[in-house]
Amino acid sequence: MKSNATNRAASITVSWRDSVGAPISSITVGIQQGTVNWTQYSINATAPVGAVTARFILGQIWGAGGTAWFDDLFMQ
């Protein structure tokens, strides 16, 4: 992730969902504010019981200014 002049946090979140799409839990990493060069983040986590899908949520807090870039996301 890279950020430029973000006045609030930009972040990467993984959200686990159950069979009907309801959120079970989530974990957030890579919280950046201001101007930060490319930084690699990783999460080492096990899906919670009942999780059938996982989603990446990339972005900034509502109402934030600035720009955030994301590249080469993967899950294994």
What percent of the chain stands above pLDDT 90? Answer: 50
The answer to whether residues 24 and 16 touch, using CB atoms and an 8 Å cutoff, is yes
- pTM of the predicted model as reported, rounded to 2 decimal places: 0.80
Instruction: Express each pLDDT in 27-71 by its tens digit.
Output: 998 888 889 999 999 888 899 999 999 999 998 776 778 888 999
Domain boundaries, the chain: 2-62
Query: For tokens 């807090």, what's the residue?
Result: 61
Determine the straight-line distance between the first and last CA of the chain, rounded to whole angstroms. Answer: 19
Per-residue CA distances from 64 to 9, 16, 35, 47, 51 (Å):
8, 25, 13, 30, 31
